Amino acid sequence: MALRDNLIPPPGLPRRLATQNLLFGVGAGTFLTGSAVFFTRVVGLRPHEIGIGLSLAAAIALVTAVPLSALTDRFGAHRMWTGGVVAQGLLFAAWPFARGFWSFLLVIACLELVATVGQAGRNVYLIEALDPETRVRTQAFSRSWLNVGWSLGAGLAALALAVDTVPAYYTLVLLNSALLLANAYFISRLPEVPRAAAGTARRRVGAVFADRPFLAVTAVCAVLTCYMTVLMEVAPLWLLHRTDAPKWWLGVMTVTNTLMATTLQVAVTRGAHTVGGAAAASRRAGLVAALGCPVYLLTGATSGVLTMVLLVVATILLTMAELWHSAGSWTFMAELPPADRRGEYIGAFRMGGSAQSMIAPASLIALAVTSGGWGWFAIAGLFLGAALLIGPAARHAARSREQMPSVPAPVPA
């Protein structure tokens, strides 16, 4: 029964939101699994052009995150979420017509922009619709069901890759387009939620950059998010170049991460619905991530089965960091922003993650893989420093929030 409670959300809005995320996961998993082949076979790109386009699109999303997310504060979370997902669905329907680098860059950049709007709308909607404890558990259920959808989508993409024809690759993007538009209809049927009253003094968009306590939390959380770079980028390269583990063991590590994210995310959110609880969860995330780094290093000196076991142990530690950090960051995004500027603050928070995605891969790969291994201690030091700093930073931001002029927060629907 306990396992079921951690896998099946309660009826009502939490279950509807988890179902919505499941649909999104199927579409995203279908496209992303086969996207590299689609871009090369259909759009006609070379590998370096894909990398340049993705980096440019990420940079555009980074610099526009705050003003685009602030649209949610002005027009409402439900409307922006629905509109953002509709726009994504229509843009995916345009992929079969893309040919060459510039059309690729146009579509991928527009997708990043509308995804920013839609994600900000979704986050603010959850904050305004649910009380803190229910909100964090609902986010956890949604993330678990997203992983299930992602796995199903990856299986569908594998079928298209096995067929290996242009029409099959068209199916990848058109299926995602159809699922996104269905998702938008699903979202439009969710109940409206009360909005926070506008502040008495109109502030310009970008005022969040003057809120140094909140930016400090954002920066520390961005460092903690490096767990994802380690799991997705650094660890595979380390296995391939510095250990004797077989290549197929990467699949075992991926399955381990996916199963844990699906079954344990709800359980680890207990107590994380307050700022203090979120700080404690984030601190645990930093500590276990720091512990996982020397385990990776050890695999460079072991052999055979022991190496394979240690790689799974390190994956488990980094996945626990992922689960705890996710629970903590949801609460920081919900509880630290002013009630009438949640979209803008969420945009700033996402900028930290985007900056990490741009900087960390090259930096951490150089530290760990090309250094010969000693760089794992430097990465562990980053995680340990973030673990020590997140508590004081969160408390300072919470005190600063209490001293700010406030507007009435909406009662959860």
Question: In this predicted structure, what is the pLDDT of residue 356?
Answer: 87
Question: In this predicted structure, what is the pLDDT of residue 78?
Answer: 93
Q: HSE of 395 in the Cβ direction (CA atoms, 13 Å)? A: 7
Question: In this predicted structure, what is the pLDDT of residue 384?
Answer: 98
The predicted-structure confidence for 72-119, as pLDDT tens digits, reads as follows 988 999 999 999 999 999 999 999 999 999 999 999 999 999 999 999
Question: In this predicted structure, what is the pLDDT of residue 47?
Answer: 76
| Per-residue tokens: 383 | 């995680």
Question: In this predicted structure, what is the pLDDT of residue 410?
Answer: 52
Residues in the chain with pLDDT values less than 70: 1-6, 195-205, 403-413
Question: In this predicted structure, what is the pLDDT of residue 1?
Answer: 45
Torsional sign, CA 229, 121, 21, 270 = positive
For residues 333 and 273, give the distance between their C-alpha atoms in angstroms, rounded to a whole number. Answer: 11
Question: In this predicted structure, what is the pLDDT of residue 381?
Answer: 97
Residues 6+ positions from 320 with CB-CB distance below 8 Å: 260, 264, 268, 284, 285, 288
For residues 19 and 141, give the distance between their C-alpha atoms in angstroms, rounded to a whole number. Answer: 9
- Model confidence, pTM: 0.86
For residues 112 and 88, give the distance between their C-alpha atoms in angstroms, rounded to a whole number. Answer: 9
Question: In this predicted structure, what is the pLDDT of residue 404?
Answer: 63
| Per-residue tokens: 61 | 């999303």
